[in-house]
Amino acid sequence: MIDASISELAAALAARRISSVELTRLFLDRIAGPGAPLNAFIAVDPERSLAQARAADGRIAAGAAGPLTGIPIAHKDIFVAEGWPSTCASRMLANFVSPYDAHVIERFNAAGAVILGKTNMDEFAMGSSSEASWYGAVRNPWDTGRVPGGSSGGSAAAVAARLAPAATGTDTGGSIRQPAALCGVCGLKPTYGVVSRYGMIAFASSLDQGGPFARSAADLAALMNVMAGFDPRDSTSLERPAEDYARELERPLAGLRVGVPSEYFGAGLAADVAAAVEGAIEALERLGAEVVDVHLPNAGLSVPAYYVIAPAEASSNLSRYDGVRYGYRATEYDGLIDMYRRTRAEGFGPEVKRRILVGTYVLSHGYYDAYYLKAQKIRRLIARDFAEAFKGCDAIVGPTTPSVAFRLGEKVDDPVQMYLNDIYTVAANLAGLPALSIPCGFAGGMPVGLQLVGDYFAEARLLGIAHRFQQATDWHRRTPQSFA
């Protein structure tokens, strides 16, 4: 059962070959047993999960089940869930138990899915390795001495190690796609506004977007059919007709134009990663796709633009954590201002403090025009580059990351090198475009990810391309040996 797809699990539940309670216990046992050294979960509540599973079994028995009824799903600890700790992997929220559900959690609950637990992550989603967590680093199931990527590293590691059939994550600059690539699973960042941000603890509001992790493109489509939807409580949520994200899974690739940007294959890309990605592009050609050259001339500016805009928004969003209303409060202080200072000094980790300082600086008087305004102009240029590229192709393909997973601690003291791990992913966030990563090979025994970027609302098309690729390959079926 641990290698079954969501549709296979749903069929087994419907046929009563297994119950949701039994399925949930199976994954809870794996989390507590072989999965424990990965540190992929922050919170697990077997009693609460099994109660949901029993309710799901009742729905199945009554003939009222949907495609995800009874399926255990792990959720990144950035989504608040009623009665569950919702910490964002920070000391600042270590004791916070949410009184309400995020919209994404509501959607899964309505579908009858089971909350398996809350996954570990970089604190407030600020990081590329899942090492910046108050609860300790997450480890990559393919090599526990390496990082799983971030910030949604706990979710990616959980799916890769078969601790959960699927999981949720968030992507601000690549935080779904990058860990998906480094852990050898599939991850999708939808078009900005397709998935509600209500109840998703904010990092950078104009960039954050929730999305799914799974082992196949078909499973991603099933998850998107639940996650996506308009929410009036989120001012950035898009009111659009409901769509079936699985509708193009069987569409042939004949006639598909795949754009390959030369900017993604230059200096900085590891040769073994490039070879795996080029092999995947050749596989798409064999399936009928036409490969065309495209150009993204401002791609090289995406990282510096992102690391001005995202910290600026973070410095504003995190100002609410002052020790007054909720969250951590320093135990010793001299007056209100000193309480603010000590609370934030003790409650935030080094990476969060670094980004608050950068963000406050670029928004300050005298520097706003020089940094923040200029970064927003570059953001517009990047979006225009994509618009121009999509005039000649249907999807853009390339590497998800410049290298395979690096070793724990290797880049902790070098923030610039850490930030460059997102060099191929941040542009899609700046433009608000949908993008996904799927496994496409191995380099030095570690997974390599292929990134597909589409035009706005092209999620179904991207999933169709990925599915046809996965019908012809088996990279997505590989399991870390210790967790098979």
Nearest by Cα to 179 from 68, 33, 76: 76
Q: Residue 206 and residue 193: Cα distance in Å, rounded? A: 9
Phi, psi values for residue 69, rounded to 5°: -60, 125
- The one catalytic residue in 151, 155, 237, 403 is 151
Q: Are the C-beta atoms of 395 and 258 separated by less than 8 Å?
A: yes
- CB within 8 Å of 252: residues ≥ 6 apart: 287, 288, 468
- CB within 8 Å of 122: residues ≥ 6 apart: 89, 128, 129, 130, 131, 132, 133, 150, 151, 153, 175, 351
- CB within 8 Å of 384: residues ≥ 6 apart: none
* DSSP symbol at 405: P
Q: Are the C-beta atoms of 339 and 323 separated by less than 8 Å?
A: yes
- The one catalytic residue in 130, 133, 175, 216 is 175
| Rg (alpha carbons) of the chain, rounded to whole number | 21
- The one catalytic residue in 19, 20, 49, 76 is 76
Nearest by Cα to 258 from 458, 403, 420, 421: 458
Our answer to whether residue 76 is catalytic in this structure is yes
Catalytic residues: 76, 151, 175
